[in-house]
Amino acid sequence: QVQLQQWGARLLKPSETLSLTCTVYGGSFSGHSWTWIRQPPRKGLEWIGEVNDSGNTNYDPSLKSRVTMSVDTSKNQFSLKLTSLTAADTAMYYCARYRTFEGVADDWGQGTLVTVSS
Amino acid sequence: DIQMTQSPSSLSASVGDTVTITCRASQSISDYLNWYQQKPGKAPNLLIYATSALHSGVPARFRGSGSGTDFTLTISSLQPEDFATYYCQQTYNTPRIFGQGTKLEI
């Protein structure tokens, strides 16, 4: 089991860029993929995308034009950037480890509530 | 994209009951189906992966089954701490879509 700690700006304005970073503690960073999932208030879970330890990415098609994910293996960190924010991007954002072989996100960060408001 | 349809959207039950939640995929996803439990204000917790494999530390009263397009999560002998929202997720391919969720209420 690993611990994931995430941080980033929590109150942003429309058109700004969301930047979140997740640090992985207590386990191997290499050999796994890392994923971001969000949850708008009072709604369900939405998969944003994933990045592996080589930096290869998969994104949800509806967000693909605005999303960038990256990894920094030297720091055991991975990051999410989401550009051109609107109020619809207001959500709790979670980072998680995605175990590629088993096909499951098993360890999650605590979540960061990001609010987009003018 | 594969669509995941979860039912029911809400469910009322009592302590000690057995409940079943279903998840249907719009195409075959083999056994790439996971179940999560989420309590208010908390991150989701993994319950079951690969359709039927119980995650470490999850009580045996949680059971997953199915294959192809139809999957079920059965919770036996409901405990007070089981009242939460449950989500399925397919990981057969990307995007790794979640079901809409099932709120299990007392």
Q: Which of A47, A103, A106 is the closest to B32 by Cβ?
A: A103
Written as six digits, the tokens of A113 are 């509530």
Averaged pLDDT for residues B21-43: 97
pLDDT given at position A71:
96
Share of chain B above pLDDT 90, in %: 99
Nearest-CA distance from A100 to chain B in Å?
9
User: Average of pLDDT values for B28-50?
Assistant: 97
* Residue-level pLDDT at A27: 81
Q: Which residues of chain A have pLDDT under 70?
A: none
Six token digits for residue A19: 């930047």
- How big is chain A, counted in residues? 118
Confidence of residue B20 (pLDDT cuts 50, 70, 90): very high
Long-range contacts (CB closer than 8 Å, 24 or more residues apart) made by A100-104: A100/A32, A100/A33, A100/A52, A102/B49, A102/B50, A102/B53, A103/B32, A103/B34, A103/B49, A103/B50, A103/B91, A103/B92, A104/B34, A104/B46, A104/B49, A104/B50, A104/B91
- In this prediction, residue B17 carries a pLDDT of 97
Q: Which of A35, A104, A108 sits opposite B43 (nearest CB)?
A: A108
pLDDT number for residue A87: 97
Q: CB distance A105–B34 less than 8 Å? A: yes
